[in-house]
């Protein structure tokens, strides 16, 4: 693993090779291993180690980036030359700011933000192929006990991320992550569970396997019910996968580009009273580095309060542009929030540490089911894509455990549905929620999100299984 | 680029010798040097300008009848030997949870050299020239009143790979690819409309040199595309109901990708992707029994250069199997899967179909689409003749959204622009067109395909699959085609 001291030494070598006005160097990489199983067999089992150094140079408002994974003298010389030759032929960017110094990057202490907890756990870093195989064996045993087959992954990683620049900024983050995803498959049904954590001891693969297996057994012989508007209970993974499609739009650059569904809507009540959302990298259930692509500290940003869209996030240059724009009085507070992507880029910034607030009267998943006269319980969503960018209609499918709920009880598995649903309408129709948990899916990034009970969810078609 | 020729054999021998001495029954090593350049503009400014290179290797082994794979950037002898030893250790861990030993279809070892045919090395064109082209396009797009956002992109890739195996293969391939495109957005009222050229989500991509960029007529089409984006605001909403539809070749390329290309991947069929990408409705009993489409439907998986410069074109796949053409659908009958050395025996094949590919040096090769193409009609038919022969229907162009279930049955696609056809003529533009259906019902509804002059080999540069996920380029040849009685407008149903 690359250490912070080694990175500092490499940065010094790069500075000596560099003739630019300014230079910023990103480091990233680490060790990653993944044990993959299917048909009750480990069929793929991989491990890699790699680190990348990415050099951004600046000449009089011109900037560009080059990257390599070769840290020897030739490799560093080539990456500096590539970055400089690319930068020199750019047009000057009037919006480009000097690289931040440490004082600007760390900012004034934010009373709303807490210190980020350590996200590096030795027990996760120490996972071996044999330990992962032993866990997979137990998952397979659960599958065989229920006469099912199982497929999934058990992965572990140890990674670093760092930024150093020519104004003395130096930020470094190291962390671990373990992830387990389990599908249980019957002849005509399936169930699924997925979880991850920096601390592998938080994960309980055996319990996840039992839950996935129960779903597969309970969903046997799914029946077709007609598409239409239903009360729908989305488990947390399903909820995050669908709501994740709106967070690209909570960006100052998206507003300036007029590609956000929030254009003209900031300050308005867009969702139900019960929706309050923030972005908070320091939240104990969140993940990732405490700084953004320029090294700026990630601030806690309240995005939505009681259904009203309050503000969006900003990279430094986006905030400066917004302050000069005609929209500056209509977009809420404007300040660099520490959410920028590495420069140069077209997208600006995005909130990636979403936290839904705990509702006033949280309910367990069982309570959400028990209070439903007729509806559909959804375990997982799949292949979600945006249909309409301003009404925020998205389409996708249910998958791996879809059930009819009647009179407060799960009745039977049903064939999977296609939905076409406006996220604006969906977040206005939430009748009840659970306590938010750390959840992960496949279509969007991990977040802290509740299970949601939604009225009039729009299923438009049904598939063959 | 890093000159690796002089070290390649040493690296390979260190890896294979170590794997062999540790007890591997099979081993291969891939040493890969990748270089890429990405340039974008947005509203008159360069959006991003970046070069990247990456060099590393992987060692794939079978030990105790199970797979192990390890990859590293460390090119030292100690690093290579440790990586190979790690691969064997991982394989032995895999063997703790197995139902049977890995069985590889035989393949004759080869020694070969191959490079993507290209006229102009894309990295030889100056960055100034590339940026000038993109800014010219940007200027054309934004010269149309109502355009609120213009984005352009150019991308070039070079990948040099040495593949060696314990069976004696020694293959050196260098692949070039290029991509270019742009998009114009128009925001007004409560609506965002967009048009893209030559295709959405990055434009057109092929395994070619810079000559691709010259062929695309990017500047020449910019004004029209921008005007269409603005005009969509004044167009009627595409109606809902059952209609005949004509798909342009780029949309049909994606339709092929999602509803033929993915379900024929044999690893999906066998359940290997069940946890993530899903499985397939094409269970083994359907081979040579399922009527996949109408009799006009002929689909091949063709990785050979003679099929064209698709993103799925190569000389050898990433386990050393030569490029092949596999008939997938023959006169409507389902006739073939995409296979590998590990999976070939499950369909009674004595040889792999040659489709195992990896995103880079640090990824395990897996079954990927090559060029999955719908063959054109042999009878001459232009798109204008096809429109002229349609009583009532909708022509849909350029993908805007796409989604399909995890067995690849139910799909829904949205397009950027539609045109209503009445009595053989385009009578009006419609906005937000979409269509949906069930895969086999849809392909059986095909009743006309345009001929070779209308056929384009499209590149899809962003196909995701696997855990850890790998992004791969695939090719899809298609000519505009007509489908009868399709569900139209379901994406906006009830909204």
Domain end point (choices A218, A249, A273)? A218
pLDDT at A439: 97
3-state DSSP helix/strand/coil percent for chain A, to nearest 5?
25, 35, 40
Residues A229 and A364 both lie in one domain: yes
pLDDT band at A107 (very low <50, low <70, confident <90, very high): confident
Q: Are residue B181 and residue B146 in the same domain, yes or no? A: yes
Of the residues A82, A106, A130, the one at which a domain ends: A106
Q: Taking 70 as the threshold, does the pLDDT of residue A111 lie above it? A: no
Please determine, for residue A328, whether its predicted confidence score (pLDDT) is greater than 80: yes
Q: Which residues of A touch B89 (CB under 8 A)?
A: 129
Does pTM surpass 0.90? yes
* Candidates A45, A134, A229; nearest CB to B69: A45
Choosing from B172, B205, B234, the residue where a domain stops is B234
Instruction: Write down the pLDDT at residue B125.
Output: 97
Query: What is the model's pLDDT at position B5?
Result: 62
Considering the domain architecture, whether residues B241 and B187 belong to the same structural domain is answered as no
> What residues in B contact A134, CB-CB < 8 Å?
96
CA–CA separation, B353 and B1 (whole Å): 32
Residues A59 and A83 in one domain: yes
CB contacts, 8 Å: B490 with chain A: 418, 420, 460-461
Based on the domain organization, do B14 and B92 belong to the same domain?
A: yes
Q: Are residues B257 and B308 in the same domain?
A: yes
Give residue A113's pLDDT band: very low, low, confident or very high (50, 70, 90): low
- Dig out the tokens for A157 from the structure: 């990683």
* pLDDT > 90? residue A401: yes
Nearest to A181 among B86, B275, B281 (CB): B275
Domain boundary among B180, B212, B234: B234
* pLDDT the model gives residue A112: 53
Kind plus residue range of the DSSP H or E element containing B204? strand B204-206
B206 & B250 share domain = no
User: Which residues from chain B sit within 8 angstroms of residue A461, using beta carbons?
Assistant: 410, 412, 436, 487, 490
Which residue of chain A comes nearest to B403, CA vs CA? Answer: A383
Q: How far apart are CA A35 and CA A129, in angstroms?
A: 7
Q: Are residues B193 and B245 in the same domain?
A: no
Evaluate whether residue A36 is within a structural domain. no
Distance CA A192, CA A183 (A): 4
- Look at the alpha carbons of A113, A114, A120, A124 in this order and tell me if their dihedral is positive or negative: negative
Pick the residue of B47, B51, B237 with the most A CBs within 10 A to test the interface with A by mutation.
B51
Mark whether A268 and A160 lie in a shared domain.
no
CATH number for the domain spanning A64: value is 3.30.2290.10
Residues A306 and A172 reside in one and the same domain: no
What range does the domain containing A464 cover? Answer: 222-465
B187, B248: one domain: no
- Give me the total of CB pairs closer than 8 Å, taking one residue from chain A and one from chain B: 293
Q: Examine the pLDDT at A110 and tell me if it is beyond 70.
A: no
Q: Do B492 and A41 touch (CB under 8 A)?
A: no
Tokens 């269509």 locate to B435
Domain end call among B234, B263, B289: B234
A424 → chain B, closest CA residue: B495
Residue A114 pLDDT exceeds 70: no
B278 to A387: CB separation less than 8 angstroms, yes or no: no
- Per the structure, the count of domains in chain B is 2
Share of chain A above pLDDT 90, in %: 98
- The whole-number pLDDT of residue A54 equals 98
**First-last CA distance in chain B:** 53
Judged by CB atoms closer than 8 Å, whether chains meet at B127 and A422 is answered as no
Co-location of B252 and B206 in the same domain: no
Question: Quick one: pLDDT at residue A109?
Answer: 54
Task: Identify whether the C-beta of residue A279 lies closer than 8 Å to the C-beta of residue A355.
Answer: yes
DSSP, res B162: E
* Whether A94 and A136 share a structural domain: no
Distance (Å, whole) CA A375 – CA A408: 9
- Smallest CA–CA separation between A19 and chain B, in Å? 18
Same domain, B33 and B147: yes
| ipTM value greater than 0.85 | yes
> To the nearest whole angstrom, how far is the Cα of B211 from the nearest Cα of chain A?
22
Per-residue pLDDT at B9? 80
Same domain, B142 and B13: yes
Nearest partner of A377 among A347, A349, A411, judged by Cα: A411
Q: Is the residue at A111 inside a domain? A: no
Same domain, A344 and A414: yes
**Domain count along chain A:** 3
Q: Are residues A92 and A237 in the same domain?
A: no
The reply to whether residue B99 touches residue A40, judged by beta carbons under 8 angstroms, is yes
Q: Do A64 and B50 lie within an 8 Å CB cutoff?
A: yes
Inter-chain touch A385–B401, beta carbons under 8 Å: yes
* Model confidence pLDDT, tens digit, residues A335-367: 999 999 999 999 999 999 999 999 999 999 999
What's the pLDDT score for residue A115?
A: 78
Q: Are residues A302 and A393 in the same domain?
A: yes
Average pLDDT score over residue span A355-381: 98
Do B206 and B267 lie in one domain? The reply is: no
Whether residue B94 and residue A129 make contact (CB cut-off 8 A), yes or no, is: yes
Alpha-carbon distance A458 to nearest alpha carbon in chain B (angstroms): 7
**Model pLDDT, residue B6:** 61
Domain housing B196: 5-234
Q: Which residue has the tokens 């099929």?
A: B307
CA distance A460 to chain B (A): 7
Same domain, B45 and B122: yes
Using CA coordinates, name the residue in chain A closest to B436: A461
What residues of chain B score a pLDDT lower than 70? 1-6
- Choose the closest CB to A44 out of B67, B71, B148: B67
User: Is A11 among the domain residues?
Assistant: yes
pLDDT at A119 over 60: yes
Shortest alpha-carbon distance between residue B134 and chain A (Å): 12
**CA angle at residue B62 from B57 to B67, to 5 degrees?**
80
Tell me the CATH number at B34: 3.30.2290.10
Element (H, E) at B428: strand B425-431
Is the same domain home to A212 and A229? Answer: no
């Amino acid at each position: 693993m690359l250490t912070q001291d080694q990175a500092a030494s490499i940065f010094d070598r790069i500075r000596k090779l560099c003739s630019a006005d300014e230079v910023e160097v990103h480091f990233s990489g680490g060790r990653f291993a993944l044990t993959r199983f299917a048909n009750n067999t480990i069929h793929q089992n991989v491990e890699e180690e790699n680190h990348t150094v990415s050099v951004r140079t600046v000449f009089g408002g011109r900037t560009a980036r080059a990257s390599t994974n070769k840290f020897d003298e030739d490799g560093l010389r080539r990456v500096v030359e590539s970055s400089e030759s690319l930068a020199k032929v750019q047009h000057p960017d009037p919006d480009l700011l000097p690289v931040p110094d440490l004082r600007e990057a760390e900012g004034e202490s934010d009373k709303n933000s807490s210190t980020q907890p350590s996200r590096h756990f030795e027990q996760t870093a120490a996972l071996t192929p044999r330990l992962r195989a032993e866990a997979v064996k137990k998952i397979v045993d659960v599958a065989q006990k229920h006469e099912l087959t199982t497929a999934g992954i058990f992965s572990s990683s140890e990674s670093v991320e760092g930024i150093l620049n020519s104004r003395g900024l130096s930020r470094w983050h190291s962390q671990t992550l373990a992830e387990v995803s389990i599908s249980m498959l019957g002849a005509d049904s399936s169930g699924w569970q997925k979880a991850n954590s920096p601390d592998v001891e938080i994960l309980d693969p055996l319990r996840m396997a039992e839950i996935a297996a129960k779903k597969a057994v309970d969903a046997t012989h799914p029946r077709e019910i007609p598409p239409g508007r239903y009360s729908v209970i989305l488990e947390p993974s399903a909820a995050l996968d669908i709501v994740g499609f709106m967070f690209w739009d909570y960006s100052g650059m998206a507003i300036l580009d007029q590609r956000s569904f929030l254009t003209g809507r900031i300050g308005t009540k867009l969702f139900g009273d019960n929706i309050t959302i923030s972005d908070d990298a320091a939240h104990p259930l969140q993940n990732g580095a405490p700084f953004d692509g320029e090294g700026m500290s990630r601030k806690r940003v309240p995005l939505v309060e009681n259904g009203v869209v309050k503000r969006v996030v900003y990279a430094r240059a986006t905030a400066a542009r917004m302050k000069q724009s005609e929209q500056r009085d209509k977009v809420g507070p404007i300040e660099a929030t520490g959410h920028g992507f590495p420069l140069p880029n077209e997208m600006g910034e995005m909130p990636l540490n979403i936290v839904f607030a705990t509702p006033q009267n949280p309910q367990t998943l069982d309570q959400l089911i028990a209070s439903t006269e007729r509806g559909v319980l959804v375990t997982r969503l799949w292949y979600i894509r945006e249909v309409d960018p301003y009404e925020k209609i998205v389409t996708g499918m249910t998958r791996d455990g879809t059930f009819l709920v009647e009179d407060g009880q799960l009745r039977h598995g049903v064939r999977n549905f296609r939905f076409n649903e406006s996220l604006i309408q969906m977040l206005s129709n939430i009748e009840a929620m659970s306590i938010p948990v750390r959840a992960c899916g496949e279509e969007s990034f991990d977040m802290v999100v509740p299970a949601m009970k939604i009225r009039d969810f729009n299923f438009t078609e049904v598939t063959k299984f | 680029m890093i000159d690796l020729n002089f070290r390649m054999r040493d690296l390979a021998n260190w890896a294979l010798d170590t794997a062999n001495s540790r007890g591997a029954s099979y081993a291969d090593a891939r040493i890969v040097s990748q270089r890429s350049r990405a340039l974008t503009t947005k509203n008159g400014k360069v959006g991003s300008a970046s070069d990247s290179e990456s060099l590393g290797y992987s060692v794939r082994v079978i030990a105790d009848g199970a797979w192990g794979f390890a990859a590293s950037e460390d090119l030292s002898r100690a690093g290579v030997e440790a990586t190979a030893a790690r691969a064997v250790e991982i394989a032995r861990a895999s063997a703790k949870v197995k139902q049977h030993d890995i069985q590889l279809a035989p393949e004759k070892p080869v020694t070969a050299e191959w490079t993507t045919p290209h006229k102009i090395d894309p990295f030889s064109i100056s960055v100034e020239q590339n940026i000038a082209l993109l800014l010219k396009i940007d200027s054309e797009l934004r010269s149309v009143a109502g355009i609120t956002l213009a984005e352009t992109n150019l991308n070039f890739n070079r990948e040099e790979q040495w593949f060696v195996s314990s069976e004696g293969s020694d293959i050196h391939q260098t692949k070039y690819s290029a991509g270019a495109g742009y998009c114009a957005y128009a925001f007004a009222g409560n609506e965002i409309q967009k048009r893209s050229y030559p295709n959405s989500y990055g434009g057109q991509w092929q395994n070619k040199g810079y000559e691709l960029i010259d062929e695309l007529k990017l500047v020449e089409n910019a004004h029209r595309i921008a005007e269409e984006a603005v005009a969509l605001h004044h167009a009627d909403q595409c109606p809902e109901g059952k209609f005949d539809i004509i798909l342009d070749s780029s949309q049909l390329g994606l339709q092929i990708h999602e509803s033929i290309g993915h379900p024929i991947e044999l690893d999906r069929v066998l359940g290997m992707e069940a946890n993530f990408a899903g499985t397939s409705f094409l269970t083994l009993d359907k081979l040579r029994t399922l009527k996949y489409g109408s009799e006009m439907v002929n689909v091949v998986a063709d990785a050979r250069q003679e099929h064209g410069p698709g993103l799925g074109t190569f000389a050898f796949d990433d386990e050393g199997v030569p490029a092949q053409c596999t008939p997938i659908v023959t006169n409507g009958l389902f006739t073939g899967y995409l296979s590998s050395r590990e999976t070939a025996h499950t369909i009674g094949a004595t040889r792999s179909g040659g489709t195992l590919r990896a995103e880079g040096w640090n990824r395990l090769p897996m079954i990927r689409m090559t060029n999955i193409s719908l063959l054109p009609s042999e009878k001459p038919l232009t798109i204008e003749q096809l429109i002229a022969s349609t009583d009532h229907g909708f022509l849909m162009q350029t993908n805007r959204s796409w989604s399909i279930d995890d067995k690849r049955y139910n799909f829904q696609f949205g397009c950027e622009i539609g045109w209503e056809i009445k009595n053989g003529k385009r009578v009006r533009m419609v906005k937000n067109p979409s269509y949906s259906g069930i895969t086999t019902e849809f392909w059986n509804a095909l009743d006309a395909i345009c001929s070779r002059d209308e056929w384009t080999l499209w590149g899809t540069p962003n196909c995701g699959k696997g855990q850890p996920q790998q992004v791969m380029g695939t090719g899809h040849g298609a000519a505009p085609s007509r489908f009868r009685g399709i569900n139209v407008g379901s994406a906006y149903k009830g909204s």
